[in-house]
Amino acid sequence: MPTDFLGRVMVVFQRYGMSMLQGAGVSLKIAIVGTIVGCLIGFAVGLVQTIPMEEKDSLAKKIVLHVFKFILNVYVEFFRGTPMMAQAMFIYFGLFPLMGINPTMTQAAYFILSINTGAYMAETVRGGILSVDPGQTEGAKAIGMTHVQTMIYVILPQALRNIMPQIGNNLIINIKDSCVLSVIGVAELLYKTKAAAGALYMNFETYTITMIMYFIMTFACSRLLRWVENRMDGADNYDLATTDTLAHTSGMYSYDDKNKKKEEE
């Protein structure tokens, strides 16, 4: 056995490196699926929470909306206010058997991480929708759009850009927090790390490898999402397409050209 630190790290990686890489793959897969499904849940909950109630609405509609919003608020507050480790054990060892559901550990991990992420994303989506200027909604209603059309075509595209950084944060958090799912037996990266450290009695070296793996995954996802954000920003300069209906001609009007003409004058 080597006496230097790097040599001992290499011994750990040679013996358990493939096992730990498989665990890292499980962690990444659970995090990605949980984030995607959680975002869908968050968008659904956030949309319901932002449905306006008007005086002209019927009493039945107001009651139904109040009940739905109350239930969704309970869901959001419960999953944001309790640790995911406790949620995992409560759902997998308690709720599922009580309901007669027998999923695999991986399926349970997808479910637990998704509903946990959905609770956080619901507040993010609600905040993103409310951050869009109210004039956008008023303008859409002025041209006859319904609430659903306004959300789909006007508000959500703008809100999505506003909340993209938080979606990226949730993905990175989920990659790291997937380690708590080892309490229900999911063979993710930390689960494999504990097995390797226990077999070789080299905790420092083993967890050094684990930290490097987590950093590589989170850093790669962070860079990728930053690239997506930049793509969503679009170009700094843009052209405005105009059509001359009288002369039946069309052209491109460039703001850069306009600025150049002003400078020349």
* Distance (Å, whole) CA 58 – CA 52: 13
One-letter amino acid for residue 105 of the chain = M
Eight-state DSSP code of residue 139: H
Q: Averaged in consecutive runs of 10 residues, what is the pLDDT profile of the chain (265 residues)?
A: 83 92 94 94 88 80 89 93 94 93 92 94 88 86 84 86 88 93 92 90 92 95 88 63 48 49 54
In whole angstroms, what is the distance from residue 200 CA to residue 203 CA? 8
How far, CA to CA in Å, does 39 sit from each of 9, 36, 46, 145? 38, 5, 10, 25
Of the candidates 96, 82, 99, 254, the residue with the CA atom closest to the CA atom of residue 180:
82
Query: Which pLDDT score is estimated for 145?
Result: 86
Give residue 248's pLDDT: 45
Token duo for residue 120: 């956080």
pLDDT score at 212: 95
Distance of alpha carbon 183 from alpha carbon 174, whole angstroms:
16
pLDDT value of position 241: 52
